[in-house]
Amino acid sequence: MNKLILRGRVLTFVEEPTSIDDQSAYNYFEDGAVLVEDGKIVDVGEYAAIAPVAADAKIVDHRPNLIMPGFIDTHLHFPQTQAIASYGAQLLEWLNTYIFVEEQKFSSTAHADFIAGRFMDELLRNGTTSAVAYCSVHRESVDAYFTAAEQRGMLMIGGKVMMDRNAPDALRDTPQSGYDDTKALIAKWHGRGRAHYAISPRFAITSTPRQMEMSQALVREHPECYVQTHLSENRDEIAFATSLYPSAKDYTDIYAGYCLLGEKMLLGHCIFLSDREISVLAETKSVAVFCPTSNLFLGSGLFDRDRFRSLGARISVATDVGGGTSFSMLETMSEAYKVLHVQGQRLSPFASYYMMTLGNARALGLEDRIGSLRTGGDADIVVLDSKAKPAMELRMRTATTLAEELFILQTMGDDRSVAEVYVAGKPMKSRIDTATPQVKARALPELQTA
């Protein structure tokens, strides 16, 4: 029997909320149910209406927890899983000191395989069922990434990072090898199961004009693929990037000049853009990816959401691990709230949960499959416990509305708030717990005290 009924408080978005009391933006069933069959959602609604028509289904009672679509992360780096929390440097120094050292470890397939498994499990532990990640420059890291996703049934997007300058020798490809490897990986992975490929020139600093031309060719030859890069994250980065492309009007114009912008393009950060640049993103339907924990951690700056809104540009939200400090989209939205608050911009709890789910699915053009609980959609689902920690339970005693509960969950919650996570209808929590039993029990390397 493969019919499953998940019973609980079901919440899913149908539109972007326009205000904190915009009830037309979501469906909420206090005693709700999601009927799942063969990895797909068959029905969503009141438990009392669904239970009788699926009498043969196995029922999993998640009450009083919330049942929502699995979270989506639109930008992070799988080879940086062990480089989170690297101290004291802003972007360019951080890349050189920590990241370009860490990513070299992925020339070992054994290491890439190990980290890929832990990376996917960490996403799931945090309720993230789909994500868009950069792999390392090594082709095998992409195999490790998509294999680990496939073993878990996850819809994942990713690609081999391309970089042919301003990086250590061991991390550089060439315009030709970057092109050839990307072609081979697209042929191998794009459209296999739930895998989607992202053509990934790291950023203008690490790609020569020749590599940009090859990226342009890849994008032209593979319009079905995503494209991802970084844009306007840090002032020194902007100065360096624009100095390398002196004929470009500004940083955005570098990518525009190689016809890389478009509705499949995800641009990490976009902190210091001019109105002209934001308008170009709007015209090309490119997506600016807001990475709040990373922008604070690397001391980069504050993402000005309202300017993107007023100029009509698309945005999404992401962790950017390892510049980002948490795999949790709840923690990410908690920081997003603060980044906007300090600029006098408001992020309502409903808008926040919209962004993590349907908003990010729309940014990826995948709203038919993921990001909401809807008939025919994929059964990627998170079950959330807003009383997962003693302090949350205490705080929740005074909460009276759903908006308040969501805000508490976002502000105080983390992986402990994820009671269960389903990928294509399969419960994953016990699998993750078995895969990483008591990490504490493992021997730790000796720590230097000086």
Token pair for 146: 């998509």
Stretch of residues binding ligand GUN (CB under 6 A), selected from 16-24, 91-99, 166-174, 378-386: 91-99
Residue 46 CA, chain-centre distance (Å), reads: 30
Shortest distance, position 140 Cβ to ligand GUN, whole Å: 19
* Binder of residue 202, out of Fe ion, ligand GUN, none (CB less than 5 to 8 A by kind): ligand GUN
Shortest distance, position 297 Cβ to ligand GUN, whole Å: 9
C-alpha angle 301/304/307, rounded to 5°?
Answer: 150
Shortest distance, position 271 Cβ to Fe ion, whole Å: 12
Shortest distance, position 123 Cβ to Fe ion, whole Å: 16
**Which parts of 302-321 interact with Fe ion (CB under 5 A)?**
320
Shortest distance, position 136 Cβ to ligand GUN, whole Å: 10
Q: Of 302, 281, 285, give the one whose Cα is nearest residue 293.
A: 302
Task: Verify binding: residue 331, Fe ion, rule CB under 5 A.
Answer: no
90 phi/psi in degrees, rounded to 5: -85, 175
CB nearer to ligand GUN: pick between 291 and 412: 291
Residue pointed to by tokens 């990513």: 103
Which residue from 77, 139, 264, 314 is in contact with ligand GUN, where contact means CB under 6 A? 77
DSSP code of 444? Answer: P
DSSP code of 204? Answer: G
CB nearer to ligand GUN: pick between 233 and 414: 233
Which residue from 26, 100, 197, 203 is in contact with ligand GUN, where contact means CB under 6 A? 203
Q: Where are the beta strands (DSSP E) in 160-283?
A: 161-162, 196-201, 226-231, 265-269
Angle between helices 139-152 and 175-189 (to 10 degrees): 20
Angstrom distance (rounded) from CA 276 to CA 252: 9
Task: Verify binding: residue 202, ligand GUN, rule CB under 6 A.
Answer: yes
Residue 136, SS3?
Answer: coil
**Which parts of 266-285 interact with Fe ion (CB under 5 A)?**
268
142 phi/psi in degrees, rounded to 5: -70, -40
65 phi/psi in degrees, rounded to 5: -75, 165
**Which parts of 314-353 interact with ligand GUN (CB under 6 A)?**
320, 323
**Which parts of 124-153 interact with Fe ion (CB under 5 A)?**
none
Task: Verify binding: residue 75, ligand GUN, rule CB under 6 A.
Answer: no
Shortest distance, position 214 Cβ to ligand GUN, whole Å: 18
Residues 102, 80 contacting (CB under 8 angstroms): yes
Binding mask 211-230 for ligand GUN (x = CB under 6 A): -------------------x
* Cβ atoms within 10 Å, residue 309: 12
CB nearer to ligand GUN: pick between 203 and 308: 203
Task: Verify binding: residue 233, ligand GUN, rule CB under 6 A.
Answer: yes
Q: State how far the alpha carbon of 200 is from the alpha carbons of 109, 178, 226, 265, 365, in Å.
A: 20, 10, 9, 10, 18
Task: Verify binding: residue 233, Fe ion, rule CB under 5 A.
Answer: no
Binding interface with Fe ion (CB under 5 A) = 268, 320
In the complex, which residues of this chain contact ligand GUN (CB under 6 A)?
Answer: 77, 91, 95, 99, 202-203, 230, 233, 294, 320, 323
